Amino acid sequence: MVKQQISAFTYKAVGRANVLLSDVIVSAHKELVPNAVQRSFKAIWDTGATNTAISERVVKQCNLVPIAKATSNTANGQRIVNVYLIDLYLPNNVIIGGVKATEFTAVEGSDLLIGMDVIGMGDLAISNFEGKTCFSFRVPSIACTDYVQQINARKPNVNQKIGRNTPCPCGSGKKYKNCCGRNA
């Protein structure tokens, strides 16, 4: 059995973020251009985008050559756009190779949209704990993140006797008698 390498990165915002933004390095796909130029850009992680998209700036700076044409559906209607084969180098050495990216009009502050074609290769989690946005991505997908299951696992087993002064199994950090055991 061959072990699959798991890669991941986490971004933590100073406060609550309205956009999931990360650094990314882009190059032409290494099988097309072995010594391809690599350049750094900002990327928006967009679960509403079916595919990854790159701006004209990325195309020019990375000397990309189109491999095909595609119809792109945007808020402004349909249009025919170029398709490029690229490699993405995400933070913490997370590498996604051979991504088909369509050309789009850049969004302020970003030259790439990371779409569901990439997001769907792995696991994406977003939290806003204590008013600070944190998002984490790992590839390949290795588990289902199920918050309902996590909550249910913290609930006490009704057949199990819980001491009044023991920490509450809900994870609040309070004694059972001052938390979930208050109404028991």
Q: What is the pLDDT of residues 27-45, one digit of tens each?
A: 999 998 889 999 999 999 9
Asked which of 8-12, 135-139, 173-177 is least confident by mean pLDDT, the reply is 173-177
Average pLDDT, the chain: 89
Q: Are 24 and 112 in contact (CB under 8 A)?
A: yes
pLDDT for the residue numbered 176: 83
Segment 87-117, tens digit of pLDDT = 999 999 999 999 999 998 877 889 999 999 9
Give the pLDDT of residue 61. 96
User: How many Å apart are CA 166 and CA 177, to the nearest integer?
Assistant: 8
| Model pLDDT for residues 123-171, shown as the tens digit of each residue | 999 999 999 999 999 999 998 888 888 887 776 666 667 888 888 877 7
Paired strand residues for 139: 7
The model carries a pTM of 0.79
Q: How far apart are CA 82 and CA 169, in angstroms?
A: 55
CB 37 within 8 A of CB 63: yes
Q: Which of 40, 36, 88 is nearest to 64 (CA)?
A: 36
Rounded to whole angstroms, how far apart are CA atoms 147 and 125? Answer: 11
Q: Please write the tens of the pLDDT for every residue from 63-94.
A: 999 999 998 877 778 889 999 999 999 999 99
Q: What is the pLDDT of residue 149?
A: 84
pLDDT at 158: 62
